[in-house]
Structure 1
Amino acid sequence: MEEQKALPHMVQPHDTLRLGLSSLKDQASVVHPVEAIQKSYPKNQEELKLGMLRNLYGSALPARMQLDRQILSKAGRLPGVPSSHLGLQSLTGELDDFGFESYIGFPEENETPGPDMHSLMEAKHKMALPPVTRSIL
């Protein structure tokens, strides 16, 4: 089973001006067992596939596949510009899946503005807190 969510610990200071007032009650919730299984399903399937390939072809093929995955997952665009990761999607087979999220929920159709470039670059260079989306009040 996956870990159950408890009260979160404060890892870094809360930026009240950007995020608003915080409440630990809102962040603490219990995860349903089926939800935990659904979240861990792709990872479990990938491990089973790599184990099967390791048994059939040796350890070099799964190691090469993991290196390809790491290389393709690091390729991206500037902060603030969404990256499609087309190479990674073709490697993992996600291009063949057509789900609900494939045609609804594009970031460019979102009504709330995204994070500004200044806070994105600060977060990239570890100069400030992580980027935050600002809502229209």
Structure 2
Amino acid sequence: MSFQLTPSNHITNVSTLDTTHADFGSHDALRYGTRSIKTEVLPGHPLEQRLDEWNDHQWELKLNMARQAYGLHAPVKMMMERDIVSKRQRMPVLPSSNLHLDILTGKDETIDFEDILNDPALSTDMLDVHAAMEHKLQLKI
């Protein structure tokens, strides 16, 4: 259990040997994306990896601090609330801001580009309610 404020400096490079499919033996593009020679030859910038891990690290830090202050039940309750709120419960066509998740993660106190450029008119969601509900039902089955 660490109370480190920033993610660690370790650099992890994923080679093509790590991304091979267990049955077929070739690169698994569905899980790891398309193969890029640039990513295989040049390692990513350390700052890019630290920025990718920033939100996860801050969430773990918040859970560790809640455990130290309030006991084991507090992080379990926080994870349960986050899991329940992160599930989309509206019809797929209706716009959803998911304000509850923003409050739990602390994003309600910041202004990001999603807050300004999140115009529903520019959305690529399906506009047919019946087709959207059929698609939602097919995903549950």
Scaled by the length of structure 1, the TM-score of the pair is: 0.62
Query: Is 2:109 the counterpart of 1:89?
Result: no
RMSD: 3.2
**Deviation (angstroms), 1:71:** 1.5
Identical columns (%):
28
Matched pairs, number: 112
Query: Is 2:47 the counterpart of 1:28?
Result: no
Q: 1:124 to 1:72 in 2, by over 3 A?
A: same
Q: Is the 8 A contact 1:72 1:88 kept in 2?
A: yes
Query: Is 2:80 the counterpart of 1:67?
Result: yes
Structure 1 residue runs of 4+, over 6 Å off? none
Q: Within 5 A, what are the aligned runs for 1:43-62?
A: 43-62=56-75
Q: Distance in 2 between matches of 1:113 and 1:52?
A: 40
Scaled by the length of structure 2, the TM-score of the pair is: 0.60
Q: 1:64 to 1:3 in 2, by over 3 A?
A: farther
In the alignment, which residue of structure 1 is the partner of 2:4?
none
Q: Is the 8 A contact 2:93 2:132 kept in 1?
A: no
**Deviation (angstroms), 1:89:** 1.1
In the alignment, which residue of structure 2 is the partner of 1:108?
120
| Higher RCO, 1 vs 2 (CA within 8 Å, ≥6 residues apart) | 2
Q: Distance in 1 between matches of 2:105 and 2:67?
A: 17
Q: 1:114 to 1:65 in 2, by over 3 A?
A: closer
Question: AA paired with 1:71?
Answer: I
Unaligned stretches of 5+ residues in structure 1: 13-25, 128-137
Q: 1:67 to 1:114 in 2, by over 3 A?
A: closer
